[in-house]
């Protein structure tokens, strides 16, 4: 434990040097006494202007649904009928057309990956189980363009890292494994996956032995992966909060760790509009460093919203805090 804390303390000190008094300020949000959690999924419910959170782990795994109004920053528990059991490290997307949260995969107990797919209707406050597609997996990232959802990789039933890309047609609820030309990202879990302008962008993650700090683009029309060579530094490797800032064509990545070695507290952006590059988002302060947090981007207020996570790897030191960061009108 001492060996683990030494690099953590060193890195947090180094991060403090990267703050700027003129930068935007992380502001804490009252979490109204909700239990600490990590490994939850969070989505932006665009119709109701709120963040919706499902699942996660703290003292125990949960299947609780929470919502936070993005205007008032007030929290509520959502009503629900019987549905999925408690789980952690799942993928989730908001299906605005059908007004529902869709969750994919996850982990039950200590290490049991599952293949379940569920949808929660916000109008009827009920769950429905959807057809499974990808084999069981957890620590899996997901994204959507409003018509389809995608997941890549994750940790399989035997904790093996996976390198497959799957697509869910949200209208027909049918799955297909997406083809490629033989070139693809290495197998990994816990990375970032976002959609932007006809392509998927994958960044970071880890396998059983090493952190992956590379970034890739999957052209959905050509069904082809291309490795990006972004300039700039991307230090945190996995278990971060991430969200796509469409207005700035930037994948925002915040917090995270390096194969459960040490936690980080800063935020970087991967600009994908031209020549891809990483840049550090300088802020006037930093939330406590963490891993396994969730994050959304609120385009109405140009704001990042960060929630939960752990401070010592996989849930040790579980946090119950939430924060927002106003990015301003420009593209930092």
The domains of the chain are located at 2-326
CA gap 296, 304 in Å, rounded? 6
Instruction: List pLDDT tens digits, range 90-117.
Output: 999 999 999 999 999 999 998 899 999 9
Instruction: List pLDDT tens digits, range 171-184.
Output: 999 999 999 999 99
Least Cα distance to 88 among 40, 54, 134 occurs for 40
State the maximum Cα–Cα separation within the chain, in Å, rounded to a whole number. 52
pLDDT for residue 11: 42
pLDDT for residue 38: 95
Q: Give the Cβ contact number of residue 33 at 10 Å.
A: 7
In Å, how far are 9, 11, 84, 278 from 273, measured between CA atoms? 35, 30, 38, 12
Where do we find the tokens 């300039």? Answer: 231
Helices (H) and strands (E) in the chain, counts: 1, 26
CATH number for the region 2-326 comes to 2.120.10.80
pLDDT for residue 5: 36
pLDDT for residue 313: 66
Residues sharing a CB contact under 8 Å with residue 115, sequence separation 6 or more, in sequence order: 105, 132, 133, 134, 135, 136, 137
3-state DSSP assignment of residue 248: helix
Least Cα distance to 195 among 162, 153, 167, 234 occurs for 167
From first to last of its 332 residues, the chain has per-residue pLDDT tens of 323 333 333 344 344 446 778 789 999 999 988 889 999 999 999 999 999 999 999 989 999 999 999 999 999 999 988 899 999 999 999 999 999 999 999 999 988 999 999 999 999 999 999 999 999 999 999 999 999 999 999 999 999 999 999 999 999 999 999 999 999 999 999 999 999 999 999 999 999 888 999 999 999 999 999 999 999 987 778 999 999 999 999 999 999 998 766 888 999 999 999 889 999 999 999 999 999 999 999 999 999 999 999 987 665 789 999 999 999 988 87
pLDDT for residue 126: 96
């Amino acid at each position: 434990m001492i060996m683990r804390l030494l690099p953590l303390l060193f890195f947090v000190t180094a991060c403090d040097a990267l703050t700027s008094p003129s930068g935007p300020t992380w502001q804490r949000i009252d979490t109204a006494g909700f239990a600490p959690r990590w490994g939850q999924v969070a989505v932006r419910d665009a119709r109701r202007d709120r963040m919706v959170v499902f699942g996660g782990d703290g003292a125990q795994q949960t299947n609780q649904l929470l919502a936070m109004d993005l205007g008032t920053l007030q929290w509520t528990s959502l009503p629900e009928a019987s549905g999925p059991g408690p789980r952690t490290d799942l993928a989730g997307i908001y299906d605005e057309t059908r007004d529902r949260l869709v969750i994919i995969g996850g982990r039950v107990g200590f290490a049991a990956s599952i293949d379940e797919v569920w949808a929660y209707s916000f109008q009827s406050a009920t769950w429905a189980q959807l057809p499974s597609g990808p084999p069981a997996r957890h620590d899996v990232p997901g994204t959507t363009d409003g018509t389809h959802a995608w997941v890549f990789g994750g940790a399989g039933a035997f904790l093996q890292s996976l390198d497959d890309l799957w697509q869910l047609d949200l209208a027909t609820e049918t799955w297909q494994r997406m083809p490629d030309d033989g070139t693809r990202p290495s197998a990994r879990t816990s990375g970032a996956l976002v959609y932007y302008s006809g392509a998927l962008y994958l960044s970071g993650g880890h396998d059983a032995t090493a952190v992956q700090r590379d970034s890739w683009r999957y052209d959905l029309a050509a069904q082809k992966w291309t490795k990006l060579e972004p300039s700039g530094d991307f230090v945190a490797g996995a278990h971060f909060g991430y969200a796509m800032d469409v207005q700035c064509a930037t994948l925002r990545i915040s917090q995270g760790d390096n194969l459960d070695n040490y936690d980080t507290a800063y935020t970087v952006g991967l600009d994908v509009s031209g020549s891809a590059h990483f840049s550090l988002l300088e802020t006037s302060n930093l939330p406590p460093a963490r891993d396994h947090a969730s994050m959304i981007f609120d385009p109405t207020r140009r704001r990042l919203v960060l929630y939960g996570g752990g401070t010592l790897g996989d849930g040790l030191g579980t946090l119950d805090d939430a924060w927002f960061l106003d990015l301003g009108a420009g593209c930092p």
